[in-house]
Amino acid sequence: MNFSLFQTINDWAGRFVWMDDLMIFCANDIVWIMLVVLAGLWMTGKADNQKAVFYACLTAAVSLLIAAFAISPEVNHPRPFVGHSIHQLIPHAPDASFPSDHATFAFSLAFSLLFVKRKTGAIMLALAVLTGFARVYVGVHYPADIAGAMALSFLVGYAVWKLNGRADALPMFFIRIYRKLTAKVTFLPRP
């Protein structure tokens, strides 16, 4: 079923140049848009927004560490292009594919924000879903790789969200440092 669903999605690759270009962008670069959203939240200077950004980054870091050191080595599932003739639109090392690192990162940010900022989190979740779909479309992940990333990100995001309030001393430490540093920055007067 995993390969069958993969084929259904990946068979669209190579049909339309504009669609391929869009999916390549989504597969590789949507995470940069998500990081810009986080930077924008941080730059508001509001403590709640800055804590949300801190917890989103913490969720992503923990999720990626679990994926890299606990799950991927144990599962060691090959990528679709290793054992099948497929439409591969982007180059990728033939390393383990489960769970998807890109999708883990994107879903971690999305779920973390969804728990505290519903509208922003919903937008981020849509971007994460698009990232996951695109990773399958371009031929570097199976749908199960994306589902695994989503499940891991949700569980870690939920656990971090439950810490919210109890562990606020850590984000507040970094927020205070940031505020001290930016308070000392002076801008040149306008001519």
Express as a percent the part of the chain with pLDDT over 70: 96
Q: What is the pLDDT of residues 46-87, one digit of tens each?
A: 999 999 999 999 999 999 999 999 999 999 888 888 888 888
Q: Put residue 165 in one of left, alpha, beta given phi > 0 → left and psi -120 to 50 → alpha.
A: left
- Does the pLDDT of residue 152 top 60, yes or no? yes
Q: What is the pTM of this model?
A: 0.89
Rounded-to-integer distance, Cα 96 and Cα 145, Å: 10
Dihedral sign for Cα 172, 174, 177, 179, please: negative
Question: Domains, the chain, ranges and CATH?
Answer: 2-183 (1.20.144.10)
Extract long-range pairs of 167-172: CB within 8 Å, 24+ residues apart: 168/51, 170/54, 171/50, 171/51, 171/54, 171/55, 172/47, 172/51
